[in-house]
Amino acid sequence: TGMAFRVPTIDVSVVDLTCELETATSYEEICAEVKRRAEGDMKGFLGYCDEDLVSTDFETCTISSTFDSKASIMIDPTFVKLVAWYDNEWGYSCRVVDLIKHMAKVDGGESGAAPKKAKASVEDLSDADLKGKTVLIRCDLNVPLNGDLEITDETRITSSIPTIE
């Protein structure tokens, strides 16, 4: 089981993941494996933290999730609570940018293949062979704030209207 909850910052959240393991292990082994992956194949997506940090230290963090070894605990050799921090706006936006770069590389011909023609409109997408699948795209690259620098549904909606019109 696990849960994610907002902490008292505008954008940073924390995951508290409770795990019952099939095989007994030590907390040191778990930390070592997370650190190995954070420095290896998951670098840039998974981070490892062994410092005393708080939620605001993770604002504008580009990493999708940073494991907090000081906040995580082992209850017994098969039961652990793992804590990971993330900036739910900035980190997500960084993954969207990664996706756009990957799409540009694949569709833009950097892979050695001839560039594909980009779809220019909604009509072009509706004419495309999507093999019966529906495509829905939403991309929030900015977060509108009201006069009190708060994110509200009203400011999101009113700032979207010029785009829709």
**What is the set of domains in the chain, with CATH numbers?**
2-88 (3.30.360.10)
Q: What is the predicted pLDDT for the residue at 114?
A: 53
- Rounded to the nearest integer, the mean pLDDT of the chain is 77
Beta bridge partners of 13: 6, 86
Distance between CA 60 and CA 157 in Å, rounded?
Answer: 24
Residue 9: DSSP 8-state: S
Q: What is the pLDDT of residues 109-145, one digit of tens each?
A: 555 555 555 444 555 555 555 556 555 554 554 555 6
**Number of C-beta neighbours around residue 39 at 10 A:** 12
